[in-house]
């Protein structure tokens, strides 16, 4: 901004002197020369920072330190064997792998896998983010790519190693489809240079270089990067399943004192869709809660509170009115009653403590991780979502705005049913449906499920009132206590 002001002021003075009759020709030549020199200095400074953002890591991370990614680790090890046994590969005339792409959601351990790969192959390791390559000055990004590959070779020679691994995190910034950044061709030049450098890698070189890259948007990458001969292998690093979550929890709690009541298997069961980063945070937050309580060991209640904090956020100081508290208690009791009706033993906890954007919540845990859903399963999820509003209506006479999120969830699930051919329309192209058709089929599905939900809520009014009353006093009820009320209250 300061440079722009100075430049504008200089141009203004130049024209003013010309208007009053001053000979500005020599002054103009000096100004042009100064501008050219300034641009050259700035560009040189940009080139001299080509090594910024590079992290040279002497990591101690091993594959055994990474839990929940057995399939990804196996596939990655098989690919790394090309680097480990390069002499054998050369005898068989096998072309070496030049690049491996790690793709998956954030927090699943892609960076840890890259570090473990360097140790597994005894390679020098250099890490950099894709954003470090992009500059406003033409040619700077391409020069950084060239310098990165030179530095990888120099580091391997310095450490007396025969191979080097370059890890590029968030490669979708650098490797986005060419032409997608039409206003800035520097992106395309940088990508082109990366392609050239990868094409130059060969088995006959004294230092073998392998490029590892990570992204959670593989669909945004340029196809030239993904073709054979560049990123030859794509390793999917997905969210861990229940056994994977248990393995991750075991790793992150091995240096923590656990009480006898801690059941890591149950925590793993209750944390469906948690990534490795989430589970590490759960372990850490549980230790923090134990510290706050001045406890000698971490107990199961600390882990339960940690799961809630990671999932929903910290407890809030805001206090609802008595009327609001009663409505929230009835609403959450309705969700819990329906959940236990359609999926017995699925409710882990009901709470009316405010966390994040939620005044209350019901935490569920499935017996098994599911990745495919039948029509019946989706309908049951919709019924659970609708139950909160219908419980308010049955006990308090009217609904409230607290059900808006539940309705949004219900509508998304109805859309999934229509797209999956589970509606009366059969198999259809949802994009070709008219607004009237969408409204009618959505209305019919929700009316049918609302009637079934209302019937269950009406039959369970007694237990609904009991659970809501207890919630207003205790603020939280565990699943076991809820099920005892279901069995005892008529």
> Which burial class, exposed, middle or buried, applies to 161 when counting CB atoms under 10 A from its CB (0-12, 13-18, 19+)?
middle
CA-atom Rg of the chain in angstroms: 30
pLDDT of 46 > 90? The answer is no
112-129 residue pLDDT tens: 898 888 888 888 898 888
Strand partners, 245: none
pLDDT of 362 > 80? The answer is yes
pLDDT value, residue 252 = 92
pLDDT value, residue 89 = 72
For the chain, the structural domain boundaries read 2-47, 55-236, 245-312, 322-488
pLDDT value, residue 330 = 93
Q: Which residues are catalytic?
A: 332
pLDDT of 25 > 50? The answer is yes
With cut-offs at 50, 70 and 90, classify the pLDDT of residue 198.
confident
Tell me the whole-structure pTM to 2 decimals: 0.72
pLDDT of 463 > 70? The answer is yes
pLDDT value, residue 474 = 86
400-444 residue pLDDT tens: 888 888 999 999 999 999 999 998 888 988 888 888 989 999 999
Residue 204: how many other CB atoms lie within 10 Å: 7
With cut-offs at 50, 70 and 90, classify the pLDDT of residue 61.
confident
Q: Does domain 55-236 have CATH number 3.20.20.540?
A: no
**Candidates 3.40.50.10070, 1.20.58.760, 3.30.450.20, 3.30.310.50; correct CATH number of 322-488?**
1.20.58.760
Average of per-residue pLDDT values in the chain: 81
**Candidates 3.30.470.10, 1.10.8.60, 1.10.1740.10, 3.30.70.3270; correct CATH number of 245-312?**
1.10.8.60
Task: Give the pLDDT mean for 470-481.
Answer: 86
> Which burial class, exposed, middle or buried, applies to 143 when counting CB atoms under 10 A from its CB (0-12, 13-18, 19+)?
buried
> Which burial class, exposed, middle or buried, applies to 20 when counting CB atoms under 10 A from its CB (0-12, 13-18, 19+)?
exposed
pLDDT value, residue 194 = 84
pLDDT value, residue 393 = 93
pLDDT of 134 > 70? The answer is no
Contact 327, 396 (CB under 8 A): yes
More confident residue, 392 or 86: 392
260-305 residue pLDDT tens: 999 999 898 888 888 889 999 999 999 999 999 999 999 998 998 8
Alpha-carbon distance values, 336 to 127, 333, 347, 408 (Å)? 47, 5, 7, 19
């Amino acid at each position: 901004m300061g440079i722009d002001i100075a430049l504008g002021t200089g141009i203004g003075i130049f024209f003013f002197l010309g208007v009053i009759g001053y000979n500005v020709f020599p002054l103009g030549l000096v100004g042009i020369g100064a501008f050219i020199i300034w641009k050259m200095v700035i560009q040189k400074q940009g080139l001299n920072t080509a090594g910024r953002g590079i992290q040279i890591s002497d990591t101690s991370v091993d594959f055994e330190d990474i839990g929940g990614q057995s399939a990804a680790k196996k596939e990655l090890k098989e690919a790394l064997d090309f680097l480990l046994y390069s002499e054998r590969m050369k005898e068989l005339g096998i072309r070496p792998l030049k690049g491996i792409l790690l793709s998956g959601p954030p927090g699943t351990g892609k960076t840890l896998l890259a570090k473990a790969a360097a140790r597994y192959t005894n390679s020098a390791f250099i890490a950099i983010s894709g954003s470090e390559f992009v500059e406003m000055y033409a040619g700077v990004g391409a020069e950084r790519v060239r310098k990165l590959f030179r530095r990888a070779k120099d580091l391997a020679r310095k450490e007396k190693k025969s191979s080097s691994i370059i890890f590029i995190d968030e490669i979708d910034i650098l490797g986005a489809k060419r032409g997608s950044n039409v206003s800035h061709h520097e992106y395309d030049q940088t990508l082109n240079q990366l392609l050239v450098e990868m094409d130059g890698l060969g088995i006959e070189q004294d230092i073998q270089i392998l490029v590892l890259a990570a992204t959670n948007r593989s669909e945004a990458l340029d196809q030239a990067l993904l073709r054979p001969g560049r990123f030859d292998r794509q390793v999917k690093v997905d969210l861990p399943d229940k056994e994977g979550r248990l393995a991750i929890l075991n790793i992150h709690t091995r240096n923590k004192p656990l009480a006898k009541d801690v059941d890591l298997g149950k925590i793993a069961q209750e944390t469906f869709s948690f990534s490795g980063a989430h589970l590490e945070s759960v372990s850490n937050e549980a230790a923090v809660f134990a510290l706050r309580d001045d406890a000698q060991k971490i107990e199961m209640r600390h882990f339960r509170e940690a799961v809630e904090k990671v999932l929903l956020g910290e407890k809030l100081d805001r206090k609802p009115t008595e009327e609001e508290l009663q409505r929230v208690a009835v609403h959450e009791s309705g969700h819990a009653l329906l959940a236990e009706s359609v999926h017995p033993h699925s409710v882990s906890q009901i709470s009316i403590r405010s966390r994040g954007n939620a005044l209350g919540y019901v935490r569920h845990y499935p017996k098994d991780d599911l990745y495919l859903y039948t029509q019946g399963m989706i309908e049951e999820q919709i019924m659970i979502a609708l139950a909160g509003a219908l419980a308010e209506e049955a006990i308090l006479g009217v609904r409230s705005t607290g059900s808006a999120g539940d309705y949004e969830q219900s509508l998304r699930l109805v859309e999934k049913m229509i797209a999956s051919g589970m509606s009366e329309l059969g198999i259809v192209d949802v994009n070709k449906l008219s607004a009237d058709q969408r409204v009618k089929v959505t209305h019919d599905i929700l009316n049918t499920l609302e009637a079934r939900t209302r019937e269950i809520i009406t039959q369970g009014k007694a237990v609904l009132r009991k659970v809501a009353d207890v919630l207003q006093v205790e603020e939280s009820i565990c699943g076991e206590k809820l099920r005892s009320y279901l069995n005892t209250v008529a």
